[in-house]
């Protein structure tokens, strides 16, 4: 895909293309913003545009030359993607791969491009080793780090990079990317195409149905309903949004679950606010490894 084909992110695209046209390409970039808004796609397109064999494209990739195709198919040895390992982090092994790749001369591309995806997952040891590489980036090499949690990146790494913010996509852009998206999923996607796609999946629809029934069930029934639940965090987010809608409804504000006529047995606004806090507490407790079963039993009893 070329810059002209990427939907949204006009500011990042313009800034990057201007750098190409002015011939002032940096050595390290940090693309940050919510998940699923086009950071990795833009990074890949930038790699193509700076290396493209056809230079009449106003700082864009032609998408048809061998170089563009080689990067697209990820079979150009000078185009490298570093991803978190199965433990969910970028550790010393992944760092070794970076060190090895920069120890050779760039043979296949004008600019060897190394994308470090989810750079916030660098372990402390790997981040310190990586910082040393960034302090002296080898010739003809460009690093593009991406993250949805910029605060989790060492300030010393951040300050070495040219930072570009990626904004949430607007509804029209998401609709272009997922034409079949339901109005509910669009409202809940919060500007992320990845989130929108996930919300449209069957498993998320099932979790949502449980959350809807949960609202009006007795504590004992609630416990049975969630006993086999796998994606507890997702369930809590959807449940919390239902309580938020009950609050919005009472305040006369448009609701997000607008395909439902959400109702609840007698519940006042103070109870809905309390419920929102309970869901939030359970979500954070689980993310800090409190057993899911314990927290689900707790909310089944505590929620109004």
Assess 68 for contact with Zn ion (CB under 5 A): yes
CA 78 to chain centre: 25
3-state secondary structure (DSSP) of residue 28:
strand
* Stretch of residues binding Zn ion (CB under 5 A), selected from 19-27, 48-56, 218-226, 246-254: 48-56
From residue 59, alpha-carbon distances to 55, 194, 265 in Å are: 7, 27, 60
Assess 65 for contact with Zn ion (CB under 5 A): yes
8 Å CB contact between 172 and 36: no
Q: How far is the CB of 196 from Zn ion (least distance, A)?
A: 30
Give the x-and-dash track for 200-229 against Zn ion (CB under 5 A).
------------------------------
Structure tokens at 280: 């939030």
From residue 230, alpha-carbon distances to 45, 48, 164, 277, 289 in Å are: 36, 40, 36, 22, 15
3-state secondary structure (DSSP) of residue 113:
strand
Residues in the chain: 304
Q: How far is the CB of 47 from Zn ion (least distance, A)?
A: 11
Give the x-and-dash track for 95-114 against Zn ion (CB under 5 A).
--------------------
Going edge to edge, which strands form the sheet with 162-165?
Answer: 79-82, 112-116, 141-147, 28-32, 162-165
* Stretch of residues binding Zn ion (CB under 5 A), selected from 4-12, 57-65, 266-274, 292-300: 57-65
Assess 52 for contact with Zn ion (CB under 5 A): yes
* Stretch of residues binding Zn ion (CB under 5 A), selected from 2-10, 61-69, 189-197, 249-257: 61-69
Q: How far is the CB of 54 from Zn ion (least distance, A)?
A: 5
Could you list the residues that contact Zn ion (CB under 5 A)? Answer: 52, 62, 65, 68
């Amino acid at each position: 895909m070329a810059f002209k084909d990427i939907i949204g992110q006009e500011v990042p695209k313009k800034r990057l293309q201007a750098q190409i046209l002015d011939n002032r390409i940096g050595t390290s970039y940090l693309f940050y913003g919510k998940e699923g808004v086009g950071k990795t796609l833009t990074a890949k397109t930038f790699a193509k545009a700076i290396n493209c064999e056809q230079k009449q494209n106003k700082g864009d990739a032609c998408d048809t030359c061998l170089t563009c195709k080689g990067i697209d198919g990820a079979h150009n040895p000078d185009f490298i993607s570093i991803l978190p390992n199965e433990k969910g982090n970028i550790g010393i092994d992944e760092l070794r791969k970076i060190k090895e790749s920069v120890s050779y001369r760039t043979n296949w591309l004008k600019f060897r491009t190394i994308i470090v995806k989810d750079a916030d997952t660098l372990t402390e040891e790997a981040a310190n080793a990586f910082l040393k590489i960034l302090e002296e980036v080898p010739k003809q090499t460009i690093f593009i780090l991406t993250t949805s949690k910029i605060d989790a990146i060492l300030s010393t790494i951040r300050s070495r990079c040219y930072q570009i913010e990626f904004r949430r996509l607007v509804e029209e852009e998401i609709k272009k990317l997922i034409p079949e998206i339901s109005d509910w999923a669009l409202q809940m996607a919060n500007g992320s195409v990845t989130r929108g796609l996930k919300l449209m999946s069957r498993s998320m629809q099932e979790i949502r149905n449980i959350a809807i029934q949960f609202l009006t069930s007795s504590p004992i029934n609630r416990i049975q309903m969630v006993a086999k639940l796998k994606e507890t965090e997702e369930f809590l987010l959807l449940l919390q949004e239902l309580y938020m809608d009950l609050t919005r409804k009472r305040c006369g504000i448009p609701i997000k679950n607008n395909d439902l006529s959400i109702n609840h047995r007698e519940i006042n606004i103070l109870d809905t606010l309390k419920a929102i806090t309970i869901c939030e507490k359970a979500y954070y407790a689980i993310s800090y490894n409190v057993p899911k079963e314990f927290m689900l039993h707790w909310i089944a009893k505590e929620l109004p």
